Amino acid sequence: MPPFQRYLAWLGKLMTGDAGLSLVNGQPVAALIGSRLGNSLILAGVTALVAVPLALTLGITSAVWRGSLYDRVVGASTVMVVSVPEFLVASAAVLIFAVHLQWVPALSQLGRINGLFDAIRVFALPVMTLTFVVVAQMARMTRAALVDVLSSSYVEMARLKGASQMRIVLWHALPNAIGPIANAIAFSLSFLLGGVIIVETIFNYPGIAKLMVDGVSTRDLPLVQACAMLFCAAYLVLVTAADVAAILANPRLRQG
């Protein structure tokens, strides 16, 4: 059978939940992924809970106080953070917080979680590293989207009518910037798909990305293919959700 026919046959089975068998241990690939999927979702969810509010706060306040010293400091900081690769942030975090200060463990061992304090110590370094990956870009895109809205004519009219700054931002600017901000959040969170591979490997976190790296090292092609397709599907879901949010937030797009 030609390679493209074998690929189409594998893709058809994948749509039904059959990703084949692992070449290393003979176990179903779907079972291997299922045992790690929950861990990756927990890591992504905790990161989103930390990164999204922080990035929105930085982006919104920078847009409101654009041109100020605070705006310049946040802008310079986000540029610096964007230019730093994930593996450098993770390595520096391990050296500072795990080796020198010994506040948190260097490896994320989920089996040692016995309470909230243990969970915070285990997730601290991976979440902090992934937050660095997404916060800077998300904050910059949020600021750009809100600055455009704050410069519009209806916001100027509300300002001339004597509306307070908080009312202008909450009632006039933010509702009209939901679409671009949703796109900023979705595209920034999509960077987690690349950053999580490095983070899970460095911190030995038992997630999908670590499973994929192990599959590459053992040349387990069915496992690598299934993990790659899962990452692609997650990216498409994020992008589609951003487009849907933009359509729902913009009446002109809904009418079109």
Q: How many CB atoms lie within 10 A of CB 204?
A: 11
- Cα gap 80→143, rounded to integer Å: 16
Q: Where are the domains of the chain?
A: 27-255
Domain spanning 27-255: CATH 3.40.50.300: no
Q: What is the pTM of this model?
A: 0.82
- For the record, the structure tokens of 222 come out as 């069915």
* pLDDT tens per residue, range 154-202: 777 777 777 777 777 777 777 777 777 887 787 777 777 666 888 888 8
**Contact present, 150 and 130 (Cβ < 8 Å):** no
Choose among 55, 64, 63: nearest CA to 166: 64
User: Tokens 């179903």 correspond to what residue?
Assistant: 28
Q: Is the pLDDT of residue 256 over 60?
A: no
Say which DSSP state 21 is in: B
